[in-house]
Amino acid sequence: MYNLIGKIIGCIVIIAGLLFFGFMAMLFTTLQGGVKFYTPLSAVVTAVLILFVILRMFVPIKPRILYRSLAVCFGLCLLTVAGYEINYAYHNSIETVGEQDVDLEQYRPFQPYTKAAKLEEPSTLKLESGLPRIDGATAFYPLYAAFVQAVYPEKQYDLYDGEVMVSKTPQAYENLIVGNADVIFAFAPSESQLEEAKRKGKELKLTPVGREAFVFFVNAENPVKGLTTGQIQDIYSGKITNWKEVGGPNEAIRAFQRPENSGSQSMLERFMGDKELMTPPQEDVVQGMGRIIEQTANYRNYKNAIGYSFLYFATEMASNGNIRLLEVDGVKPEKSTISSKEYPLTAEFYAVTAGSDNPNVSRLIEWILSPQGQWLVEKTGYVPIADPAVR
């Protein structure tokens, strides 16, 4: 009797210890971002150990059989971990195409190494004070860095704070609407950005300053050279799910998207018209204090992937020889087809304002539309909205 009570007490103590260490392991793996694999694995290992203790103490099974079974369980766990890590390493080895790959420092104005385009003559506009605060999309930083280099006084301009910064499209629109920027360079706002401006009592004014191509791209080994507008819409609505349906290999299509309110995502939504976008691939992201969120996955160049961006960004800023731009409706995206508007997904981009009282804002935009400003648009790599001849 006393022996049984001792076993029960010992079992309870051991199980309590296992539960404690199992809970700590689950908490640790969750905070490290392993909520979809290592956290459940910790729970399984804890449950197996608890079952082993109970069987060992109360069930008349040969110890050798129990220990062998436990060894097999741990062996399976190790094989599972190895398979997971190999797959994870393979996933991370696939090249990405996105803003995380771009070094914006190389375009910063007035630096000896800058790639920002330079005028071949003195600028007809020079500002020494009352500088408009500029923000914008990542893809347009090289362009407005060139404007600044021509018009603003020579000094250090921080990339992420101050008079000339780059916050990406969603934050740039937010900065404009709340008054932290006087002008931003971006594609047209999304519906939610327009609604946010209206809620804040701001009216967004969009002044076209150049043209660009909205492009779709695939892995360079994908034999599909082009798609029709309807086929792309059907892919992103989930109607077409396999490359063989559009003349490619028998592989499921992995259609990546961009974060909500980004310039390219807003363009995709307009391109889709009344067709509903399917849910994009997701990935877990660990933020401060171990908070895990699920967000739209970055494009990875799998052989069955398709993604989208804008011509200059995809071919210059995030150049990747392992992707190929697709023809759309039989037309290649290039400067000549953008200028002629033969390429069907040609889009204007804008200097966007929201009622700034800085008089130099209108002077700057007027200069951008002048031959000198338009020459810099072309020199940077975009298609100008007007004649770029330099006087």
Query: Domain map of the chain by residue range?
Result: 2-93, 96-391
Decide if pLDDT at 242 tops 90.
yes
Residue percentage of the chain with pLDDT more than 70:
91
Query: Mean pLDDT over residues 73-81, rounded?
Result: 90
Instruction: Give whole-number Cα distances, 311 to 88, 128, 314, 317, in Å.
Output: 30, 34, 5, 10
Query: Mean pLDDT over residues 152-160, rounded?
Result: 93
pLDDT value of position 287: 46
pLDDT value of position 391: 42
Query: Mean pLDDT over residues 259-268, rounded?
Result: 83
Decide if pLDDT at 301 tops 80.
yes
Decide if pLDDT at 343 tops 60.
yes
pLDDT value of position 284: 55
Decide if pLDDT at 323 tops 60.
yes
C-beta separation of 213 from 333 below 8 A: yes
User: pTM of the prediction?
Assistant: 0.77
Which of 105, 90, 85, 104 has its CA nearest to residue 37?
A: 85
C-beta separation of 256 from 277 below 8 A: no
Which of 86, 30, 100 has its CA nearest to residue 284?
A: 30
Q: Which CATH architecture has domain 96-391?
A: 3-Layer(aba) Sandwich (3.40)
C-beta separation of 322 from 219 below 8 A: yes
pLDDT in tens, 87-106: 877 776 677 666 556 788 99
Decide if pLDDT at 125 tops 90.
yes
Query: Mean pLDDT over residues 113-137, rounded?
Result: 94
Calculate the average pLDDT of the chain: 87
CA distance 325 to 265: 17
In the structure, what pLDDT confidence band is assigned to residue 258 with cuts at 50, 70 and 90? confident
pLDDT value of position 2: 59
Query: Mean pLDDT over residues 197-210, rounded?
Result: 94
Span of 168-172, 227-231, 261-265, 342-346 with lowest mean pLDDT? 261-265
